[in-house]
Amino acid sequence: MPNNRRSAAGRRPRQPDSDARGQLLDAAIALFAERGIANTTVAQIAAAGHVTPAMVHYWFDNRERLLDAVVEERLAPRFRAVWEPADVEHGEPREVGQGIVHRMFDVTAQAPWLPSLWLREIVNEGGLLRERALRHIPVVKKVAGFGQNIARGKRRGEINKGIEPQLLFNSIVALVMLPQATAKIWRRINPTLTLDRATLERHVTVLLMHGIADGSAAAAGRQHGRSGSTS
């Protein structure tokens, strides 16, 4: 029997797959992202991880502990990877924003299951990871600090006056995560849609970086080349 039952808690996020427990956790997450937590049984998790249901119980005690492990060992490190590498409260606001976008794409490239799990189980009313995620992930303070930074940039004239600092992180999440979480339905609406990371990241970055830039330079440029359009 494995003797590392509890040793995983402090493990670095870079080595999560080095044992059978980690592989089982990943198998569970893949099922949760694909069909939802409520629609996934322990037997299915065991089958996907090539172990017996008893092993699932051995490693995770019960469903609640398994969900704790999903949040603490797989989601929290990804949230930290988005927020921690930069001083989101004091860095140059547009650079900080661009960094958050880029790291969010890094994280979803490493964890392709993240956008649908996020949509299904955190964002959705009744999502089974929402309370855990809010409890375990110190995102509230980071979001507030980022908003205050954007607000200061706005007062200094670096950020467009029409931008609402407290809504910007929400907009970033929407632009980065929703298309990835809903890729299947978008491909049905538009079969030729390209949703590779490079295309999506370029599009989102341009939209956000031009979108939040102070409009006065652009306005000056438009005045210069004004061609009779109103609105």
4/11 Cα distance (integer angstroms) = 11
Judged by CB under 8 A, which of 119, 138, 151, 152 binds its own copies?
Answer: 119
Tell me the chain's radius of gyration from C-alpha atoms: 21
DSSP 10: G
Judged by CB under 8 A, which of 5, 155, 197, 222 binds its own copies?
Answer: 222
Judged by CB under 8 A, which of 16, 36, 91, 145 binds its own copies?
Answer: 36
Give the closest residue to 142 by CA, choosing from 198, 88, 197, 194: 88
Structural contact between residues 28 and 48, judged by C-beta atoms closer than 8 angstroms? yes
Site membership for its own copies, residue 229 (CB under 8 A) = yes
| Window contacting its own copies (CB under 8 A); options: 1-9, 63-71, 76-84, 219-227 | 219-227
Please tell me the total number of residues recorded for the chain in this structure: 231
In the complex, the smallest distance separating the C-beta of residue 120 from its own copies, rounded to whole angstroms, is: 6
**Binding residues for its own copies restricted to 159-178, rule: CB under 8 A:** 160, 162-164, 166-168, 170-171, 173-175, 178
Site membership for its own copies, residue 179 (CB under 8 A) = yes
Helices (H), 42-164: 42-48, 53-60, 63-69, 76-83, 93-110, 114-117, 130-136, 139-155
Size of site (CB under 8 A) for its own copies = 75
27/221 Cα distance (integer angstroms) = 53
**Binding residues for its own copies restricted to 55-74, rule: CB under 8 A:** none
Site membership for its own copies, residue 221 (CB under 8 A) = yes
Judged by CB under 8 A, which of 139, 145, 151, 152 binds its own copies?
Answer: 139
Phi, psi of 19 (to 5 degrees): -145, 170
Site membership for its own copies, residue 48 (CB under 8 A) = no
Site membership for its own copies, residue 205 (CB under 8 A) = yes
In the complex, the smallest distance separating the C-beta of residue 129 from its own copies, rounded to whole angstroms, is: 12
